[in-house]
Structures are given as structure tokens and as C-alpha cells.
Amino acid sequence: MTDAVLLKQTGEGLGTFTPIKDGLTVSKLLNSTRPKSETQAVVSKDLSKTYGRTQALDKVSIHVAPGSFYGLLGPNGAGKSTLMKLMVGVLAPSGGSIEVFGHKAGKGDEVRTMVGYVPQDVALYGSLTGKQNLEFFGSMYGLRGRPLQQSIDEILEFIGLTEKAGEAVKSYSGGMKRRLNIAAALLHKPRLLLLDEPTVGVDPHSRQRMFEMLKHLQAQGATIVYSSHYMEEVEELCDTVGIIDHGQLVDQDPLPELLARYAGQEVYLEISPDGTVPPDIPAWLASCSTRLRSVRPLGSGWLAEAENRADLMADILAAARQKALIFRRLELVKPSLESVFLKLTGTSLRDQ
């Protein structure tokens, strides 16, 4: 891996960061900016960003509650990374506004110390050791001397890289680099952690270890915004989800509420050729139940949706007995983010 240039990038890069003024400690910054309990961690109103003629974000209004684990779900190119960079203040909006804990995003040292940002591309210096990388990034947040070394020791133990701290980062595995990248964003103990597609190129074992780290951080009171195009990651980690597509925030809410509102009451069925097979299965299903809303093929079977899936299941079973049908599979479908995304965007995330 080539050395990442964190401090001087332009355009859509990480932007230009300057060290926090000497003598201004992280603890003082956090104490002086502690908001009232009702202050949202992130709030944007009609937030827009354009690159030339490209509309990357279009009037996005997002709200992230303190202490929440907010999943930003959408396909590649939907605008997730742009939104993250606006949150951290690396990019300036083309329109609208965005605040972090009641302060304009990216304005002043006090605001910047509240935020830890883990970009999609690993931002580390490969020729430096893991510890040297952390010393460098810690110094950018005003950490010096013993407080910095203590923070480094704690964070290395937390991410499980103490024994590898003296080795060059270019020798690290993909998962180790990702964990060190997260560590660099945690050194100054931010209240808001932004992670942009952090599991890209990470093996399953390292991914699970990363998930355990993030769950532990949230349990300690951190607010986390996590962007991904993997449904299963967002479902496992996040209590609140925002769905973004073509630069627009389609909807956002606590995950259970999204599932209740959009995820269908669905039954999946596969009919065995060992019994009677209706020539037109959608038509047969429609004749089975007046509760049926829709039918669509899925894999080697059919997905039927109704107002109440249990009632639909009962209707199908009653009709099947009369026709001597044999089911290879007949099951209630658990509501999922996949069905929510399909309802809101008209397409499957896996198809994009």
C-alpha cells in the first residue's frame, strides 16, 4: 500500500488539516463544548453538494441522536462519502446547513475535537510503524508527551495491536490497517465517530472484531455514524438507519420503525413437482386469498405479500389442501432492510 497523504488533499479528498493550538488540551475542549442533553449529534437542513454539474447531495435533512449507532445505507455513488465529509467539515456545502452538537460543522478546533473520521480509503503512512502513525495523528489533535503515550497504549490494547505497534504499517494485513485507522480517529476521544465503508477489503474475522470494538464504543456513550452498502452490517450494528439513493435521503428512522412501516408482510413458497402444480401460480395465489397484495418471483419460488402474513399463510394452506399441492418450502419471511430498500427505491441494493 502506498503512503496515504492525510494532510494535503484537494477536491474530494480529505482536505487540509492544521494542528490544534498547543496548550489547548482535549479534555478542556470536550468540557467546554458539552451540549445540553437535547442537542442532536448531527443535524442538517436541505444540505446540498454539487461538483460542477454533478449533484452529489440534494437537499438532505438528517438528524442523528446522541449515543445512537446511525447506519447510512446506500449503493456506491449514492452520496454517503460526500455526506460524511460535510459532517467532518472537510467539504463545504453548496447549499443548506449542517451542525455537529449545535456547532457549524468543521468550524474551529473545539468542534473538530468532537469528531473522529475514518475515511473509506485507509489513511496511514506505510513506512512508519503503527505507533509512529498514532503519535503523528495524536499530535494533530494537540496531544503531547505522557497524555499522548498513555492514549496510544490504551488504544493499541483496545484494538489488539500492541504486539504489532513497532512494525511498519505496510506489513499489516488489511484488517489490521483498518483497526489502526479507527484507532487514529479515537486517540482524542471524540464524541462522534464517522466511519465510511470501514469493512471494505477486510476478512470476516477482522470484520467481527471491528464490530465488537464499535459496539463497545457505543456502550461507552459514543455516537457512531456508519456508512455501508452491506445490509447485514447495518442490521447487525445500527439502531437507526438512513437510506440514501441518488444523492437524496429517502427516509430515516429507528430500524424497528422502518421495518414496521415498509417491510412487507410476506410469505415465501416453493411448490414441489411431486404434487399438483398450478399452471399460473400468481393467479392461483390471487384466488387463494382476498388479502393478497402482490406476488413476485424470487429464486426458485415466489414471494407473496399481504396485509397480514399469518392470515395469508392460513389461506394458502387451506387452498393447497383442496388442490393436493405439496410445498417444498412455505415460510413466513422475516422483515428485512432489503425489503425496506426495495420499497423505497424500487430496486434491490444487491442489483446496484
Domain assignment present for residue 271? The answer is yes
Q: Are residues 75 and 208 in the same domain?
A: yes
Domain assignment present for residue 8? The answer is no
What's 140's domain CATH number? 3.40.50.300
Q: Are residues 217 and 281 in the same domain?
A: no
Cβ neighbours of residue 305 closer than 8 Å, sequence gap 6 or more: 264, 265, 266, 267, 292, 293, 294, 295
What's 269's domain CATH number? 3.30.70
Q: Are residues 75 and 44 in the same domain?
A: yes
C-beta of residue 21 within 8 angstroms of C-beta of residue 109: yes
Domain assignment present for residue 346? The answer is no
C-alpha distances (whole Å) from 344 to each of 252, 253, 259 are 11, 13, 12
Domain with 319, as residue range(s), is 264-334
Q: Are residues 184 and 282 in the same domain?
A: no
Domains identified in the chain, total number: 2
C-beta of residue 125 within 8 angstroms of C-beta of residue 136: yes
Q: Are residues 278 and 169 in the same domain?
A: no
Q: Spell out the per-residue pLDDT of the chain, length 352, in tens.
A: 433 333 323 233 333 333 444 433 333 323 333 444 468 999 999 999 999 999 999 999 999 999 999 999 988 889 999 999 999 988 999 999 999 999 999 777 777 889 999 998 999 999 999 999 999 999 988 889 999 999 999 999 989 999 999 999 999 999 999 999 999 999 988 999 999 999 888 888 888 988 998 999 999 999 999 999 888 999 999 999 999 999 999 999 999 999 888 877 889 999 998 888 999 999 999 999 988 988 988 888 998 988 888 899 999 999 999 988 999 999 988 888 888 888 888 766 655 5
d(CA 59, CA 166): 46
Q: Are residues 147 and 31 in the same domain?
A: yes
Q: Are residues 152 and 296 in the same domain?
A: no
Q: Are residues 200 and 298 in the same domain?
A: no
